[in-house]
Structure 1
Amino acid sequence: MNTERQDWRRGAEAALRYRQREGHLDVPYEHVEPEGAFPLGRWLSDQRRTFRAGTMTGERAAKLEELGIVWDTADAAFEQNLGAARAYYALHGTLAAPRSATLLDIAIGQYLTNIRRPGGLGKDPGRAQRRAAALAAIDPDWNPGTLGWTVDWQRHHAYLAQLLAEGARLTAIVPGVTRHGEDVGRWLATQRRAWDRLNAEQQRRLGLLGVKKAARARTTALKKAVASGPRAGGTAFQKGLEALQQYVAREGRLPGRAAVERLPDGAEHRVGIWIGNQKARRDKLDRAQLAALAELGVEWAAG
């Protein structure tokens, strides 16, 4: 027992020195204190395990808390990231952050992406439920995948709602009107064109903002392009157009070059490369085909 008490006292003293030097007790597991070559990181891990098991004395627990120990490092990290999430929401009015977003030196976009994945909130059901509730208290729609649409869709919808709340007229939100670098106007035009591909809740939410399905006349060029494409490559153009329309309806933007879209018949279409190929053969496309591409937001087809 004397040896055990001496070892504990050595650990507490090493923790005190570390706290005085670094200002915290966030000690890496592999850290060894130079004085006495004491394995402080491993020792603190052992203390947390003893505390969770309920076998630590109140006196020792109080001493370690006085030094600033964090009993649950996972919860501490979550709280830090939750603070960044609150700050992001204060700036953007949504937690539908792009993956590249950073704030307060935290990669908040990647973090939110990670916790939206199955099991991302932790393996313990109770803890996961508490964390989900904390995120929902910031933004009820923090995980749009559970609602049936993408983070990208949610972000654009939030920005559209903000523009309208600030006094913008819906008719004035046309392609080129942006918020936080996102082309909300182009996204809005896409939602109108692809209205029938939206789920009922998406349609309801857009309807509350005054958005309606595009007039039938706007789909004429698309239908004409499908029906009257040139014999050589007509079917290929139709497939590409179908893949592009499906992608834009879901994501609200044009695909990158590496994008691959799965069509209803199960076939995969390299829609990103297809757009580049159409641009290379622009002078061989007829007016209806160019108009159909322009309707889907392909800028070079409108020129």
Structure 2
Amino acid sequence: MQQQRERQPDLLLRRVKGRAPPYDLAALRAEARTGPARTTTASSPAHAKAGTALPAAAGELVVQGEDLGTWITAQRAGWDRLKPAQQYLLETLSIEPPEKGEMVVPVRRSQDERWAVNLAAARQFHAREGHLRPARKQIELINVTGGREGMQEAVKLGAFIDNSRRRAATLSPQRRAALDDLGMRW
């Protein structure tokens, strides 16, 4: 049994080394769910081939609704929790582990920032549709601001509205009023 466990990372590495870019993002994410972090993105090999540097900070590059700078920072912050195969994949993309003594903190949005993005999506939906009754799985693409003009972010608007209804009693009066202005049905 011990010998079989020792061979598993080696087998995974051999399988990964044989995989040719471009990577299938959905398949890699599914594989990575067994570990603590995702292992790669579809655009990273394309960036490497094009000679374009990967983003160093959050907000520099958003691909398929995912901020690659935030993703890279999260991978580097959790480097010690990654499996050897995941570390190998990141290294093939020129993503290195943090240096000794280097403090890497994942980028997180505050609740107020997340609320503002969700509310912007609700306003956009209301302006287009004339109501605020999206399907539960409704995803709204909103234009991103703050130095990242021209990029879009996918917001799960249906889930946000459903969760807001469920938590109506705990919403602040300002937040409840903002949704009331859009014709929210409680």
Q: TM-score range by the shorter chain?
A: 0.3 to 0.5
Q: Higher relative CO (CA 8 A, sep ≥ 6), structure 1 or 2? A: 2
Between Structure 1 and Structure 2, the one with more helix by share is 1
For normalisation by structure 1, the TM-score amounts to: 0.25
